[in-house]
Structure 1
Amino acid sequence: MEPCPECGASMDPRSCDELFHALLALDHSRQAPWGPLHGVSVSCFLLQHPSRLPADDGAMAWALLHTYLEGGLDEVNQLVGQARRDNSHRVKGGPLRVVRDAPLPHRDASRSRFSVTIQDVAVDGTFPSSAFTERVKAWAAATVDAWSCGT
């Protein structure tokens, strides 16, 4: 089977999309360790599959990964809270501000292949809870490293 054209991971036995949907189901259970890392996991997946990046070209995902790697989950929660407040219909003044100062590489910047992908985080396809947090942190670091090499 051909590797994923975006992240380079093997798509055997399950594709990146199939694994992402399995991870989202775990995330939405809101149970640890998956639920608290939902934003980090989604950010990693989007930045490793840039055809799926939202209209902000991944600025929020990029800021979230930098925040996670530099300050941990508490700072991520603060960033997400700020983003929710800024995105409220009660706030007038335009598009969402990204509070974190982490310059986003150009979307088309050449990237090295990712040393950690969703396949690695999934382990056997089930995203086991044992060492999940460590695997996600390695995924976040590999994502930032690969994008940073392209700048």
Structure 2
Amino acid sequence: MERCAECGAPAEPYSCDELFQVLLGLDHARREPWGPLHGVSVSCYLLQHPGRLPADGGARARDLLRAYLEGGLDEVNQVVGRARRGNNHRVRGGSARRAGDGVPPQRGAPRSRFSVTLHEVAVDGSFPAAGFAERVRGWAAATLGEWGRGA
């Protein structure tokens, strides 16, 4: 069985990229339960696919997952608000940093299979609403835990 080179998930019947596109579509519809967890889902995905990490090497993604696991969505919203204010190019007097250019994983990033991946969250590829929040919480905990062991 072929596996994703970055997270170790099965590459069939759907690749990680295919599942991520489905999830983004659900997230951007801004409906419960997917929309409110957009930042958490993206952070998990990026940390499990380190070739897509922004220039910060995943630091903001890890901060967001810590906030979510410690304080839920209220804490996530505070972290996101602070990041938006700090990333405003008018505040800094320069241009905004571009994320998503894909850099090599930071030293210490996990290089083995993750215990919970996007595939478990997707269930059958449809990301069913029932239990979605719990699956994302498990994904976040596993991702952050495995980064903690690798960092």
- Which TM class, normalised by the smaller chain length? 0.7 to 0.9
Q: Give, as a single letter, the amino acid of the residue that structure 1 aligns with 2:142.
A: A
Q: Which moved more, 1:61-70 or 1:79-88?
A: 79-88
Q: Which residue of the partner structure matches residue 5 of structure 1?
A: 5
Counterparts of 1:13 and 1:38, CA distance in 2: 23
Counterparts of 1:73 and 1:80, CA distance in 2: 10
Q: Which residue of the partner structure matches residue 109 of structure 1?
A: 108
Q: Give, as a single letter, the amino acid of the residue that structure 1 aligns with 2:81.
A: G
1:64-123: CA deviation from partner (whole Å, max 9, x where unpaired):
001101111100001101111112233126798xxxxxxxxx813152421100000000
What are the residue-to-residue correspondences of 1:2-151 with 2, within 5 Å? Answer: 2-92=2-92, 107-109=106-108, 111=110, 112-151=112-151
Q: Do the aligned residues in 1 keep the contact of 2:89 with 2:95 (CA within 8 Å)?
A: no
Q: Give, as a single letter, the amino acid of the residue that structure 1 aligns with 2:125.
A: G
Q: Do the aligned residues in 1 keep the contact of 2:121 with 2:139 (CA within 8 Å)?
A: yes
Segments of 5+ residues of structure 2 without an aligned counterpart are 97-104
- Structure 1 runs (4+) deviating above 4 angstroms are 93-96
Q: Give, as a single letter, the amino acid of the residue that structure 1 aligns with 2:4.
A: C
Q: Give, as a single letter, the amino acid of the residue that structure 2 aligns with 1:123.
A: V
Counterparts of 2:94 and 2:127, CA distance in 1: 38
Quote how far apart the aligned CAs of 1:149 are.
1.2
Counterparts of 1:85 and 1:61, CA distance in 2: 16
Q: Do the aligned residues in 2 keep the contact of 1:33 with 1:129 (CA within 8 Å)?
A: yes
Give the aligned length: 142
Segments of 5+ residues of structure 1 without an aligned counterpart are 97-105
With normalisation by structure 2, the TM-score equals 0.88
With normalisation by structure 1, the TM-score equals 0.88
